[in-house]
């Protein structure tokens, strides 16, 4: 069975705060480690009251320091917001502290709104320089050459697996050209998934970092003891998307009984399209959904995410998903993990 991993945004729920979000993140990471999840990624977002993972590298260090075996990384660092040298130093530091456990996923979007992007970026058109910035960053992880004027300390010669993230053909093309693993944001922007995957696999060029294509796909998975309860828990994520599109991002809301009364018909269509890659229900429903998703898209790895309001229910959801993984593994047999 392919590896299952987790994407976490360190959600700040209504009535809570960032400190509790960080405690929940570490608790969930420790549970994920015990359950056999392969990696635990955190994402960079800014100016969003319900997401506490803005200082992503700092939070990765917190999670890696509180766990012992699970891989911990960024899904991702939004490279236009940072100088490549600073990213290399940060992740060179993390990989030196926790060797063999740190991943660096790179994204091209700002991870925020336009005013905040202007406040963050070194220069506002930096997204256009993304390919050059990726190459510069990769160079800092190479062993330093004699007379090299600028080097990452630490970072030079440190093993840091670098991934490219994307929701369009751009990232797939770049990942294929550079011979890097690729993670597609199908959990919130699935429209170009099939085309991007086909392009990535067709055009992949082996590199010193990766000999064959390796694609990870995001999937919303909310599991509970009944289909009805899982659908109710999922209304938290649905409300979050609606609030963001309404220009009113806030703390993560509690679930509601009647989502139909909350959204307009156009909003419903938008949310259902954005969150189409989802397995929501009890263990049997989730198993069927995950199995069908894998059969159709053939990912090398799944990156599960669950924006669930109650921390205990979120833990339970990932417990059920891990049991589903084990059931599928027993059905289909193990496969070698290349990630």
Question: Within a domain: residue 338?
Answer: no
Domain membership flag for residue 83: yes
Is residue 235 assigned to a domain?
A: yes
Q: What is the CATH number of the domain that holds 155?
A: 3.20.20.30
Examine residue 154 and say whether the peptide bond preceding it is cis (omega within 30 degrees of 0): yes
Q: What single DSSP character describes residue 149?
A: S
Kindly report the pTM of this predicted structure: 0.94
pLDDT value of residue 113: 73
81 within a domain of the structure (yes/no):
yes
Q: How far apart are CA 48 and CA 65, in angstroms?
A: 26
**Total domain count, the chain:** 1
pLDDT in tens, the chain (339 residues): 899 999 999 999 999 999 999 999 999 999 999 999 999 999 999 999 999 999 999 999 999 999 999 999 999 999 999 999 999 999 999 999 999 999 999 999 866 677 777 777 655 566 678 999 999 999 999 999 999 999 999 999 999 999 999 999 999 999 999 999 999 999 999 999 999 999 999 999 999 999 999 999 999 999 999 999 999 999 999 999 999 999 999 999 999 999 999 999 999 999 999 999 999 999 999 999 999 999 999 999 999 999 999 999 999 999 999 999 999 988 876 544 444
- Answer whether 55's CB lies under 8 Å from 94's CB: no
Q: Give 288's contacts (C-beta < 8 A, 6+ positions apart).
A: 279
In the chain the beta strands, taken as DSSP E runs, fall at 4-8, 39-42, 71-78, 102-107, 162-166, 182-184, 215-223, 278-281, 301-305
Q: Is residue 337 part of a domain?
A: no
Which of 181, 184, 154, 155 lies closest to 168, judged by CA? Answer: 184
* Helix H or strand E encompassing 29: helix 18-35
Surface-to-core class of residue 166, CB atoms within 10 Å of its CB (0-12 exposed, 13-18 middle, 19+ buried): buried
Instruction: Give the structural domain span for 121.
Output: 4-331
| pLDDT value for 9 | 95
Domain annotation covers residue 190:
yes
Q: Is residue 336 part of a domain?
A: no
Cα separation, 222 vs 316, whole angstroms = 9
pLDDT of residue 124: 54
- Would you say residue 90 lies in a domain? yes
């Amino acid at each position: 069975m392919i590896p299952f991993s987790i994407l976490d945004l360190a959600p700040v729920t209504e009535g809570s705060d960032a400190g509790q979000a960080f405690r929940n993140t570490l608790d969930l990471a420790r549970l994920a480690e015990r359950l056999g999840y392969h990696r635990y990624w955190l994402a960079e977002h800014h100016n969003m009251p319900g997401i506490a993972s803005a200082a992503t590298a700092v939070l990765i260090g917190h999670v890696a320091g509180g766990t012992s075996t699970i891989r911990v990384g960024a899904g991702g660092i939004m490279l236009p917001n940072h100088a490549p040298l600073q990213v290399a130093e940060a992740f060179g530091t993390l990989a030196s502290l926790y060797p063999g456990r740190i991943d660096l996923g790179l994204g091209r979007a700002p991870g925020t709104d336009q005013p905040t992007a202007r406040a963050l970026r070194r220069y506002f058109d930096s997204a256009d320089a993304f390919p050059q910035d990726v190459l510069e960053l990769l160079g800092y992880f190479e062993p330093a050459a004699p007379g090299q004027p600028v080097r990452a300390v630490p970072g030079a010669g440190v093993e840091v697996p670098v991934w490219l993230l994307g929701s369009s053909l751009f990232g797939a093309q770049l990942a294929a050209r550079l011979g890097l693993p690729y993670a597609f944001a199908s959990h919130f922007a699935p429209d170009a998934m099939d085309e991007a995957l086909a392009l990535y696999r067709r055009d992949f060029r082996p590199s010193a970092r990766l000999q064959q294509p390796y694609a990870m796909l995001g999937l919303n998975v909310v599991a509970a003891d009944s289909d009805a309860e899982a659908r109710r828990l999922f209304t938290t994520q649905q409300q979050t998307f609606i609030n963001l599109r309404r220009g009113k991002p806030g703390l993560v809301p509690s679930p509601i009984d009647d989502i139909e009364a909350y959204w307009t018909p156009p909003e419903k269509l938008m949310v259902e399209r954005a969150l189409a890659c989802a397995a929501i229900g009890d263990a049997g429903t989730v198993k069927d959904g995950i199995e069908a998703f894998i059969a159709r898209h053939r990912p090398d790895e799944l990156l599960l995410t669950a924006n669930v309001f109650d921390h205990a229910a979120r833990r339970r959801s990932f417990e059920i998903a891990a049991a589903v993984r084990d059931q599928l593994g027993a059905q289909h047999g193990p496969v070698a993990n290349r990630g």
